[in-house]
Amino acid sequence: MSAGILERIWQIIYSGGPIMVALALLAFMLYRNTVGVFLFITRLRVRQTLQRHHSKPTRTDIRNFREHFEQLVRTQLKYANVLIVAAPLMGLLGTVAGMLDTFRGIGAESGQDTTKAVADGIKVALITTQTGLMIAIIGLFFSQWILRIYRSKDLQLLELELETMEKT
């Protein structure tokens, strides 16, 4: 990234006030979690993983693997969903803070300073709201993508389980 882009990002974060720091931390936690789960789940080779741990996996082995796999993915997606829900709420908190600054500026009644205070308050309100919504929307799409891949892997496990049932 060029220095100009980083500087612009910093200006946006700075102009959004202290709530933007919390939003940035929330986004980091959310995307770190979802990218990690995404990489794990896309790299998982079901048949090879089972055969690595069991030369001839039994139905019980596959079922245990499926249960652990489901628990892992569901737990991580629950964590991601909490952060997804928190992002717009935190943006709303920034909106309230920005509107309070706006009303403080209106109450100041000091000409040019009033206009700047009102504009700055509205700017904070809009930036934090937009940021919270963008974090949540991207996180929601990403978590649904992960869920879709998980279902595909789970189907592969079911097929493998059926294969072992037919052999016995």
Query: Quick one: pLDDT band at residue 168, thresholds 50, 70, 90?
Result: low
Handedness of CA 118, 124, 130, 136 (dihedral sign): negative
Structurally, how many domains does the chain consist of? Answer: 1
Q: At what angle do helices 112-167 and 59-108 cross, to 10 degrees?
A: 170
Average pLDDT over residues 10-39: 90
**What's the per-residue H, E or C state across the chain?**
CCHHHHHHHHHHHHHCCHHHHHHHHHHHHHHHHHHHHHHHHHHCCHHHHHHHHCCCCCHHHHHHHHHHHHHHHHHHHHHHHHHHHHHHHHHHHHHHHHHHHHHHHHHHCCCHHHHHHHHHHHHHHHHHHHHHHHHHHHHHHHHHHHHHHHHHHHHHHHHHHHHHHHHC
pLDDT digits (tens, 9 = 90+) for 43-90: 999 888 887 877 788 888 889 899 999 999 999 999 999 999 999 999
pLDDT above 80 (res 166): no
Average pLDDT over residues 112-126: 80
Q: Is residue 117 part of a domain?
A: yes
Q: Which of 90, 118, 113 is nearest to 22 (CA)?
A: 90
pLDDT digits (tens, 9 = 90+) for 40-53: 999 999 888 887 87
Q: Is residue 153 part of a domain?
A: yes
- Position 48 scores a pLDDT of 86
Q: Tokens in use for 106? A: 């209106």
- Position 111 scores a pLDDT of 66
pLDDT above 80 (res 109): no
Q: Is residue 110 part of a domain?
A: yes
Query: Quick one: pLDDT band at residue 151, thresholds 50, 70, 90?
Result: very high
pLDDT above 70 (res 110): no
Q: Is residue 13 part of a domain?
A: no
Q: Which of 62, 36, 30, 40 is nearest to 150 (CA)?
A: 40
Q: Is residue 2 part of a domain?
A: no
Q: What percent of the chain has pLDDT over 70?
A: 95
Q: Is residue 34 part of a domain?
A: yes
- Position 46 scores a pLDDT of 86
Q: Is residue 14 part of a domain?
A: no
Q: How many CA atoms lie within 13 A of 18 on its CB side?
A: 4
Domain that holds residue 106: 19-167
The larger pLDDT score, comparing residue 110 to residue 34, is at 34
- Report how far residue 104's alpha carbon sits from residue 111's, in angstroms, rounded to the nearest whole number: 13
Q: Is residue 71 part of a domain?
A: yes
